[in-house]
Structure 1
Amino acid sequence: MFSRHLIRLASASLLLAFVPARGDESNLWPFFVRHTDPTTGTATAEGLGPLLFARARPGEEQQGLRPVYMTTRTAEVTEGNILYPFFTWRQQADYRTFSFFQLVNTRADTTDAAHPDHRFDVWPFYFSRQTDDPALNYRALFPLVGEIRQRFGRDRLSFVVFPLYLQTEKGGRQVTHAPWPFLRFIAGDGHTGFGFWPLYGQSARAGDYEHRFWLWPLGFKSVTNLADPEPEVKLGLLPFYSRDTGPGYIRENYAWPFFGYTHRTAPYRYDERRYLWPLLVQGRGDDRVVNRWAPLYTHSVIKGTDKTWLLWPLYRHQRWDADGVAQEKNQVLFFLWWSLEQRSLAHPAAAPAHKTHLWPLFSSWDNGAGQRQVQALSPLEVFFPGNPTVRQLWTPLFALYRYDRKSADTVRHALLWNAVTWQRTATTREFHLGPLASVQTDTRQQRLALGSGLIGLRRKPGERTWRLFLFDFPTAAASKADQATTP
């Protein structure tokens, strides 16, 4: 706990202890680098190379020690982790969670103060829930004894010295195993059944369904929707034959699963032939086509999604529309080369957005509206595309080079974890070689400095001569003075 607070204090100090006086960056690499995004006002800081970090933007603060620890705070929520994904937590006024690799989990929900809800799990051994409703409370010590309610897709599960006894209930249907999985008894709400797995089993409910199996999984027959004019029937004598029938379709397999066909007339039309499945498949129907000659070539169009494989798994191409966006994805060996292009269906002439990974060399992003990013190296982004925690904790550790373009006028380059940086905006230019040398140009002055301001030269607009300065370090006081006296 002490170490966590120490890291928090040290990372927060990155944003508070130093304020860039001239320009948008202070660079004392590798001890400290602070940068302010001129377009968004987001302040980021790093210390000890990329290890210690902090970021502040309107409504949110982040800080941590890569890849060990990170916290994210907003006005309502605090989230944190240690050795992600092992230790994670979330705190807000009326809701708290903690998890160790999803194996040890706690949750306290006091959203309704009159009805608090507390849960604690130690997978797969202990499960508990405590509320003011006795019908929802439970404690279970697996495999010895216990009862679990409203979880795992069941209304209730109870067991005693599992697998000697297990009972599940859902929608009034009770299934008792004694012992699991060999003996099974079904009862409740019109359901009846018995099973001696894997030799024989049956279950039924009048007007609803009938199921049977023998020598599972070799023989089975299942009839559902008995009240309908044409029930759904599944029959199998594996590996010789299987058949599925229902309203508007039939599917048969011979020498299962290698040869077969499907004929469907409702709710859509579709016909398919299978030879040495899954290698050779031919299908045609409403809004769907399948041509599979695996592993050489596969092309399918299903509900508007167009997918092509060449020399599986060498190359994959996919096109589809979703949420008003036309999307096109290309992959070589799944992740070695990965690219995604997105175009607006409402504005087809607009520039597309791109995301590309050449693993593990680089990743690039382009939002189509003038913002671009490139990073080299990038070994993790292709595997965790939607994980902001990995992006903050792990991705910067590999950032030998980063390119960040906010607009045509605002561009920043960073080399070797900000050891060398160069940035330009519409009104400023900045170059930093760590704390050794810097060049800054803006509307107020041109400035060349060594030792982060130990000695240098500067001149104001309209002046021809350079003026020598000594010990002009970037401090908050100096920054305010400059702004107050500069016309």
Structure 2
Amino acid sequence: MPAILGGCAAPDAEIHLAPIFSRHTVPGYDHAEAAGGILRYGEQAGAVTWALSPFYWRLRRPDDSVDSDFFYPLGRYIHDPARPRTFARLFPLFWRDAETRADGVEDRDWSVLTPFFWGGSSSDGKENYFAFFPVFGTVKNFLTYDEATFVLFPLYLRNRKDERTSNHILWPIVGWTGGSERGWHVFPFYGRAEVPGKYRRSYVLWPIVHVAHDELDSKEPQQGWMVLPLGGRIRKGDYRATTVLWPFFGYAARPSTDFVSWQVWPILKFERGGTESRQTIRRFLPFYMRFEDEQTEFTVWMWPLFWDRTDHFGDITRESFYAMPVYWRSRTLRADGREERRERLWPVARVYEDNQGNERFAALAPGIEPILNSEQLSRNLGFAFEVWAGSSDAVSGVTQRRAFLNLYHTAQAAGHTRWSVPILGGQWTEPDGTVHTSLLLGLLRFRSGPGGGLEEPAFPGPGWPDLHVQDLPPAPQVAAQP
């Protein structure tokens, strides 16, 4: 026993006793974890992360911005000093969002026991409000409205959007609108709305009868009517559209632009021509569908299983392929040659590489965007199901890989490579080629290269020195041109 105690590793040395405790370092990288990854601490590229999963996870970046999850998936905290903005949420108990807008106004919004208590304030006094739903109150910027006021909702509701104000009694049954739009309704029996010179719309026995006169300020006003489910008609210049037994049968044409469209919903649809939004559609569901316009083209086989899609956004092109719901890949290309890549075989594995050269991957990967965010799921519960995971950082040059419960770990940076497994041991290769080997809880250690031979025991192994504070090589500089 005295011999073993005399050969213990230094307090800051590398230790690998997973799943109990482990610490790994290479230049620019420090990772420690306990209890199979439930408790974690890490430093990389100037960012500091620590977690007590699934109760708390926190990332602090060099610019002092903070991302945090707590009581996942209920709690979330974000602090962005550049905006500046701070957001906190613990659903359904509360949320709070505070930011300084571009015009310098400080704006704060909050809710307690959502959806019952809402409130907010702003430094200019224009966004002050409070609401106790459904008893009384006012809310700002809610859904599509600038402001909504209610008393014993749905007994009374008033909402405002731009210069239009609507009042409702027993919402949505009785209502009237004033300001830029005028109208009234007794739902579902009759309703009408009008913006003089722009449109007139009305309905009878909603949703059965609809009549609309739109774009009255244009050279070619549009007129239309619909009697559900019998049919309807739209006219605009030489454009005509007719539907019979909506939505099953439809036909539209505009001779001046060679536009033709017809469908037997949902099985068949064919469309071509047009000038404002020139597109081509061919649909024979579930076997085949093809869509093309100036920005997007996609082909579907055995809808909704197989999709091949290309999108153009200015100087950016995105190519995607889906085999729903198990496989998905996409590649985003930029004019400057940078590329972003995503690939997923659900729920087996996922890979993401951004246009800066950073890479992250994991297996297993049960997340499904946008329902279940993969990154949040991984950082809070990944320790319990990821059998293999890792990342590569283009800024620090750090590459790391981890097996389930950290039963294998490897890290590389600045010419150093380290790998190890608990009890059995591992190896550390230095930039000059020297290889350090540690076996059997660090009790047998030796090195190759200049000065090779046995090294002192460092129980519980591997006992290599802390490298994370070692200086990284400087970033490459572009030489000045004469």
TM-score clears 0.5: yes
The alignment yields a C-alpha RMSD, in angstroms, of 3.8
Matched, 1:138 2:129: yes
What one-letter code is carried by the residue in structure 2 that aligns with 1:256?
W
- Match of residue 261 from structure 2: 272
Alignment of 1:230-309 (within 5 A): 230-246=220-236, 249-264=239-254, 270-275=259-264, 277-285=265-273, 287-309=278-300
- Match of residue 314 from structure 1: 305
What one-letter code is carried by the residue in structure 1 that aligns with 2:262?
R
Q: CA deviation at 1:66?
A: 2.3
What one-letter code is carried by the residue in structure 1 that aligns with 2:37?
P
What one-letter code is carried by the residue in structure 2 that aligns with 1:49?
G
- Match of residue 28 from structure 1: 17
- Match of residue 365 from structure 2: 378
What one-letter code is carried by the residue in structure 1 that aligns with 2:224?
K
Matched, 1:399 2:386: yes
Given the superposition, is the C-alpha separation of residues 242 and 64 from structure 1 closer, same or farther in structure 2, using an over 3 Å criterion?
same
- SS of 1:393's partner is helix
Q: CA deviation at 1:218?
A: 0.5
- Kept after mapping to 2: 8 A contact 1:271/1:283: yes
- Kept after mapping to 1: 8 A contact 2:15/2:463: no
Q: TM-score, normalised by structure 2?
A: 0.80
- SS of 2:68's partner is strand
Matched, 1:161 2:152: yes
- Kept after mapping to 1: 8 A contact 2:296/2:311: yes
- Match of residue 376 from structure 2: 389
- Kept after mapping to 2: 8 A contact 1:52/1:66: yes
Given the superposition, is the C-alpha separation of residues 147 and 423 from structure 1 closer, same or farther in structure 2, using an over 3 Å criterion?
closer
- Match of residue 70 from structure 1: 57
Q: How many residue pairs align between the two structures?
A: 450
- Match of residue 111 from structure 2: 121
Q: CA deviation at 1:187?
A: 2.4
- Match of residue 437 from structure 2: 448
What one-letter code is carried by the residue in structure 2 that aligns with 1:253?
T
Q: CA deviation at 1:216?
A: 0.4
Q: CA deviation at 1:293?
A: 0.4
What one-letter code is carried by the residue in structure 2 that aligns with 1:29?
A
Q: CA deviation at 1:427?
A: 4.8
Once residues 15 and 163 of structure 2 are traced to their aligned partners in structure 1, the CA distance between those partners, rounded to angstroms, is 67
Matched, 1:60 2:47: yes
Question: In the alignment, which of 160, 173, 177 is matched to residue 168 of structure 2?
Answer: 177
Matched, 1:198 2:188: yes
- Kept after mapping to 2: 8 A contact 1:453/1:474: yes
Once residues 134 and 288 of structure 1 are traced to their aligned partners in structure 2, the CA distance between those partners, rounded to angstroms, is 48
Once residues 74 and 237 of structure 2 are traced to their aligned partners in structure 1, the CA distance between those partners, rounded to angstroms, is 49
Q: CA deviation at 1:406?
A: 7.1
Q: Deviations over 1:50-79 (max 9, x none)?
A: 222222234422211222211122343333
What one-letter code is carried by the residue in structure 2 that aligns with 1:45?
A
Once residues 448 and 315 of structure 2 are traced to their aligned partners in structure 1, the CA distance between those partners, rounded to angstroms, is 53
Q: CA deviation at 1:176?
A: 1.5
- Kept after mapping to 2: 8 A contact 1:279/1:294: yes
Q: Deviations over 1:167-215 (max 9, x none)?
A: 22223322221121111222235x4322111111223243232121101
- Kept after mapping to 2: 8 A contact 1:19/1:474: no
Once residues 458 and 15 of structure 2 are traced to their aligned partners in structure 1, the CA distance between those partners, rounded to angstroms, is 15
- SS of 1:470's partner is coil
- Kept after mapping to 1: 8 A contact 2:107/2:127: no
- SS of 2:377's partner is helix
Given the superposition, is the C-alpha separation of residues 133 and 329 from structure 1 closer, same or farther in structure 2, using an over 3 Å criterion?
closer
Given the superposition, is the C-alpha separation of residues 35 and 383 from structure 1 closer, same or farther in structure 2, using an over 3 Å criterion?
farther
- SS of 2:406's partner is coil
- Kept after mapping to 1: 8 A contact 2:201/2:211: yes
Report the identity percentage: 24
Alignment of 1:362-373 (within 5 A): 362-365=349-352
- Match of residue 7 from structure 1: none
What one-letter code is carried by the residue in structure 1 that aligns with 2:145?
R
Once residues 145 and 61 of structure 1 are traced to their aligned partners in structure 2, the CA distance between those partners, rounded to angstroms, is 45
Question: In the alignment, which of 204, 227, 237 is matched to residue 217 of structure 2?
Answer: 227
- Kept after mapping to 1: 8 A contact 2:344/2:351: yes
Alignment of 1:86-125 (within 5 A): 86-91=74-79, 95-101=85-91, 104-109=94-99, 116-122=106-112, 123-125=114-116
Matched, 1:211 2:228: no
Once residues 71 and 254 of structure 2 are traced to their aligned partners in structure 1, the CA distance between those partners, rounded to angstroms, is 52
Once residues 183 and 238 of structure 1 are traced to their aligned partners in structure 2, the CA distance between those partners, rounded to angstroms, is 23
Once residues 384 and 42 of structure 1 are traced to their aligned partners in structure 2, the CA distance between those partners, rounded to angstroms, is 32
- Match of residue 14 from structure 1: none
- Which consecutive unaligned segments of at least 5 residues does structure 1 have? 1-16
What one-letter code is carried by the residue in structure 2 that aligns with 1:400?
V
Q: TM-score, normalised by structure 1?
A: 0.79
Given the superposition, is the C-alpha separation of residues 182 and 340 from structure 1 closer, same or farther in structure 2, using an over 3 Å criterion?
same
Given the superposition, is the C-alpha separation of residues 384 and 118 from structure 1 closer, same or farther in structure 2, using an over 3 Å criterion?
closer
What one-letter code is carried by the residue in structure 1 that aligns with 2:197?
G
Q: Deviations over 1:374-397 (max 9, x none)?
A: 532222266679764334223454
Once residues 421 and 233 of structure 1 are traced to their aligned partners in structure 2, the CA distance between those partners, rounded to angstroms, is 68
Q: Comparing 373-382 with 156-165, which one deviates more in the overlay?
A: 373-382
Q: Comparing 178-187 with 369-378, which one deviates more in the overlay?
A: 369-378
- Kept after mapping to 2: 8 A contact 1:283/1:291: yes
